[in-house]
Each structure stands twice: as structure tokens, then as C-alpha cells.
């Protein structure tokens, strides 16, 4: 089983796709950004093996009959996590999922799983867990409440994407790089590229895409390892997303009618 995490540009004509591929319990073996759709599809086809988990950072389910800009899952999650409305992506996720399934070898296609993920949600949960001194327990799968009422959109890790000035972006990138390479017991078969003050803004954007793909790889690795914090929130009608949630967040989402379950 491989975990294939794709940070996806929300527009079809893009070269802002990135992929991170994990083939071992804690190891990421391949990271690449600056991909158009053809290159992304070719890489997924190359690395997909039976029972692979393929993650896409783009809305997939629940986008066909939107009542407003957001799906039910986003209307609830936005109380805790800042996120873009699904209407911004249109049918991009569902179409890309279908393209990937058609491209994957026939003998593999029937057993692969394709799910939506959201890197910011993964990073925020792990960042809060670290600040509370509970990151090790999360990684070991010791189920408990990690979050509390302070888990709001205004309390988030340092920004590294979006319309922010260069120095703030660089600082956020450096902190995320350190988080990925030193805090998560995550191994890289080749060193992950680091941000530098000499890096152009365009280079930082491509690195941020790589880091987002790696964050998707983290939640994917937790999922296939059976870590109880890796949960599928929602369903095909509400919108569906693989994320990290503790006892507290799981209860809050379920109280609002969002289904929470293990992948298998």
C-alpha cells in the first residue's frame, strides 16, 4: 500500500499541483511540485499499487447540488478551522478523481481509495497538539481530548500561503519546514528542500505546495496505520474529508450532524 498525497490547484489549467508519496510506515520517498494535470496523473498511475490511499486537496463529494457556497461539512468546520468554500473549486475534485481512476491500471483500480484532505486542518491540529505537549500521544494513537474551546479559526499556525508579505511568508515556511522534518518522526528518503531568504516568491509557493502534500501524507500515514485520530468526517452528501480529530472535536462535529468514522 502506498499513500499518494496530492496538493491540487483548484483550476484545471494549472502547474500548481504537487505530490508526496509514502511507501513505508513513516517515510516519504518522493516529493515533487510544479506539476500540470498530465504529470500529476502520470505520477499517480506510476506509484499506485493495490490498496493505495490517494488523497486530493480539493473538494470531491457533496459539490453537485450546493445550497450556497459551502457544503454542510464546511459550514460546521469553519467554526474551528479557516477554509475556502467548495464553490471555488466547482467540479474540479470529482472530475480529477474520475480521471485518476481511469488512468490507474485495471488490476489496481478496484482496490485504491481516493479521499479529500485539507493540509491546513492537519497542520493546525498537530500544531495545537504540540503546543499542549500532547503531540507524542497523538502520534502513538493514545486516544484522548487534545483540543478545547480555544480551537477557533483565529488560533492557527504561522501563515505561509496567501496574500502575505515576503518576510512573513518566509518565516511561516521555515517553521513548517522545521515542523515536518523535526517534530513528526517523519523520514524523507531524500532531504526535503528548505526555504531560504534568497528564494524568489514563486519558489516559496512551489515549496509550500510540497509541504502541503507532505501534510496530506502525514494524515494518510496515520490513517493506514490505524491511528484513531485519523477520521473521515462527513459523507458523500455532506462533503467528506480525511482529517485529524480528537475526542473533543469528534463530539463537537457529531453534535452538528457531521458523521465521523474510521476509514476501515
pLDDT for position 39: 97
| pLDDT at residue 259 greater than cutoff 90 | yes
Confidence label for 24 from pLDDT (cuts 50, 70 and 90): confident
In this predicted structure, the answer to whether residue 95 has a pLDDT above a threshold of 90 is: yes
What's residue 1's pLDDT? 83
pLDDT digits (tens, 9 = 90+) for 206-258: 999 999 999 999 999 999 999 999 999 999 999 999 999 999 999 999 999 99
In the chain, what are the domain boundaries? 3-261
- Residue 219 has a pLDDT of 97
Exposure class string for 190-222: b at 16+ Cβ within 10 A, else e? eebeebeeebeeeebbbbbbbbbbbbbbbbbbb
Q: Quick one: what percent of the chain has pLDDT higher than 90?
A: 92
Q: What is the mean pLDDT of the chain?
A: 95
Sequence-distant (≥ 6) Cβ neighbours of residue 110 within 8 angstroms: none
pLDDT > 80? residue 25: no
pLDDT of residue 26 exceeding 90:
no
Please count the CA atoms within 13 angstroms of the CA of 100 that sit on its side-chain side.
30
Residue 65 pLDDT class (50, 70, 90 cuts): confident
SS3 114: strand
Amino acid at each position: 500500500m502506498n499513500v499518494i498525497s496530492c496538493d491540487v490547484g483548484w483550476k484545471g489549467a494549472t502547474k500548481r499541483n504537487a505530490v508526496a508519496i509514502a511507501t513505508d510506515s513513516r517515510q516519504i520517498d518522493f516529493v515533487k511540485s510544479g506539476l500540470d494535470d498530465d504529470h500529476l496523473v502520470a505520477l499517480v498511475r506510476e506509484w499506485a499499487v493495490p490498496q493505495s490511499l490517494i488523497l486530493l486537496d480539493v473538494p470531491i463529494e457533496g459539490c453537485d447540488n450546493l445550497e450556497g457556497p459551502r457544503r454542510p461539512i464546511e459550514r460546521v468546520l469553519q467554526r474551528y478551522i479557516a477554509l475556502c468554500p467548495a464553490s471555488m473549486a466547482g467540479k474540479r475534485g470529482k472530475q480529477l478523481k474520475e480521471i485518476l481512476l481511469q488512468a490507474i491500471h485495471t488490476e489496481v483500480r478496484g482496490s485504491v481509495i481516493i479521499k479529500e484532505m485539507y493540509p491546513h486542518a492537519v497542520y493546525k491540529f498537530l500544531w495545537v497538539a504540540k503546543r499542549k505537549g500532547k503531540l507524542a500521544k497523538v502520534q502513538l494513537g493514545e486516544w484522548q481530548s487534545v483540543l478545547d474551546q480555544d480551537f477557533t479559526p483565529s488560533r492557527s499556525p504561522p501563515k505561509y500561503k496567501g496574500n502575505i508579505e515576503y518576510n512573513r511568508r518566509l518565516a511561516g515556511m521555515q517553521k513548517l519546514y522545521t515542523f515536518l522534518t523535526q517534530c513528526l518522526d517523519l523520514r524523507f528518503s531524500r532531504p526535503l528542500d528548505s526555504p531560504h531568504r534568497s528564494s524568489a516568491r514563486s519558489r516559496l509557493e512551489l515549496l509550500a505546495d510540497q509541504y502541503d502534500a507532505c501534510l496530506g501524507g502525514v494524515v494518510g500515514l496515520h490513517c493506514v496505520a490505524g491511528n484513531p485520530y485519523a477520521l473521515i468526517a462527513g459523507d458523500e452528501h455532506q462533503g467528506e474529508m480525511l482529517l485529524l480529530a480528537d475526542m473533543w472535536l469528534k463530539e463537537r462535529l457529531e453534535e452538528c450532524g457531521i458523521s465521523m468514522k474510521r476509514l476501515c
